[in-house]
Amino acid sequence: MTRDQLEHAIRAACDVAEDTEVWVFGSQAILGEFPDAPEDLRASIVVDMQPKNRLEMADFVDGALGELSQFHKTYNFYVHGLLIDDEALPQGWQHRAKPVVDEITTGGLCAI
């Protein structure tokens, strides 16, 4: 996955979730801090996301943008919409999140 693909996924997930922000988790979250991460670290074609403010929309994100969706077939990567259990993550994880912001993408927070 590239940083451009991550930004595309963030925009799509925000649109589907009708949210202004999403949390990005998993291996592709590295692109939040390191947009040009080595190819070995961004080999996955899936990015895990949770709507930040509309948690109830996670399943809709997964259905619309997930594995075997039209989005996946069109772009050769997909979004796994999910709910993250805050209790399973280290304390203060939100403060380590890196925003993914450019002239188009304003709603991604990569938690790494």
Angle between helices 3-17 and 58-65 (to 10 degrees): 120
Burial of residue 70, with CB atoms counted within 10 A of its CB: 0-12 exposed, 13-18 middle, 19 or more buried:
exposed
Q: Which candidate, 26, 33, 36, places its Cα nearest to that of 4?
A: 36
Q: Identify whether the C-beta of residue 58 lies closer than 8 Å to the C-beta of residue 81.
A: yes
Q: Would the pLDDT of 86 be above 80? A: no
* Mean pLDDT, rounded, for 47-71: 97
What are the sequence ranges of the domains in the chain?
A: 3-110
pLDDT band at 111 (very low <50, low <70, confident <90, very high): low
11-40 residue pLDDT tens: 999 999 999 999 999 999 999 999 999 999
37-53 residue pLDDT tens: 999 999 999 999 999 99
Q: Would the pLDDT of 70 be above 70? A: yes
**Both structure tokens of 41:** 């670290």
Percent share of the chain, pLDDT over 70: 97
Burial of residue 107, with CB atoms counted within 10 A of its CB: 0-12 exposed, 13-18 middle, 19 or more buried:
buried
Mean pLDDT of the chain: 91
